[in-house]
Amino acid sequence: MTDLHSHPLDGLRAAPDPRDPRAPALLIPHADGEPLEGRAVVLGIPYDGGIPSRPGARFGPRAIREALAGFGAFDGEREVPSAIDLGDVSVPTMNGADAHAAIEEAARRVFASGARPVFLGGDHGITGSIIRGLAAARPDARLGLVTVDAHLDVREYEDEAHLSSGTPFRRALESGIGDGGRTAMIGIRRFANSRYYLDWVVERGVHLATVEDINTHSATRSARAALYRATEGADALYLSVDMDACDAAYAPGVSAPGIGGLSSREMIDIVRTVAADGRLVGADIMETSPPYDQDGRTARLAARLLLEILAARP
């Protein structure tokens, strides 16, 4: 008789090598009743209903998790602490308003639990609902926001049923805890934004670091400057990463690929710098689109950025 506590493939599969721990082992399923206060958690949001073209980002959370298999758990200096994997939110896909209401409620519960989440998407419109959820859980917070994105993503929208991947940061600034003076956008790319929306963010005091700025001053220095602006007067910090900030040569598997973006090295340096700030309460990695990521390089970069965020946590 088989031992009920044994694995059916014991003796027929390679045992994990304790001398070389692998990154997938860092994501631990959540046990019922286990407190989340102060814990790093990962939550997938497989929704891409707000992408006007090239759908596929709903498969991003799974691809990022799978890409972790290519990494170890030690970066040469730091052992990455484990995180609780809460699985994926069950998102209604036929109605945008219902989808975003479910995402906002999921974010509210996670932030109310005291966890420190990293959300995996999914279209970038999700971030607006995540920050609305944070505002519901912590209405008195003074949030600093750093975005890594080629786009401003402050488009106007009619109502909750018409949210898109271009609306998240307008919604963040409307949340009650956001403010233009505590918002910094890194990686803005030429020929990717309109004058109308550029004027809109400048009028609100948003700090912008373009790809050219980063090329001149370095990714780390640009990230430090953005962090300084975003955290002045803030008691909480949120980091939002759109994989389309990266040049299509490094990250082709995104919803809106572009030429002249950041390198993968620059993306890593920016995320590492921002994630190290002790005020970070949450982060997300959005717009990985596996149908356009034929060799998996975008998912691998997203997984590396996830590891950088987790490694920065105490």
Q: Is 140 annotated as a binding residue?
A: no
Q: Could you give the C-alpha distances from 212 to 66, 71, 188, 215, 249, in angstroms and in order?
A: 33, 31, 9, 5, 17
Q: Residue 32, annotated ligand binder? A: no
Q: What is the phi/psi pair of residue 185, to 5°? A: -115, 120
Distances, alpha carbon 179 to alpha carbons 5, 183, 196, 247, in Å: 53, 6, 19, 29
* 179 annotated ligand binder: no
HSE-CB of 287 using CA atoms within 13 angstroms: 32
> Is 242 annotated for ligand binding?
yes
Strand 207-210: give its sheet, edge to edge: 27-29, 83-88, 40-45, 116-121, 280-286, 236-242, 143-148, 183-188, 207-210
245 DSSP assignment: G
284 annotated among ligand-binding-site residues: no
Of 163, 197, 161, 160, give the one whose Cα is nearest residue 180: 197
Strand, coil or helix: 163: coil
The answer to whether 123 is annotated as binding is: no
Euclidean distance between CA atoms 77 and 288, whole angstroms: 28
Phi first, then psi: give them for residue 233, nearest 5 degrees.
85, 5
Please give the Cα distance from 255 to 292 (Å, whole number). Answer: 8
| Residue type for position 101 | A
- What residues are designated binding site for Mn(2+)? 124, 149, 151, 153, 242, 244
- What residues are designated binding site? 124, 149, 151, 153, 242, 244
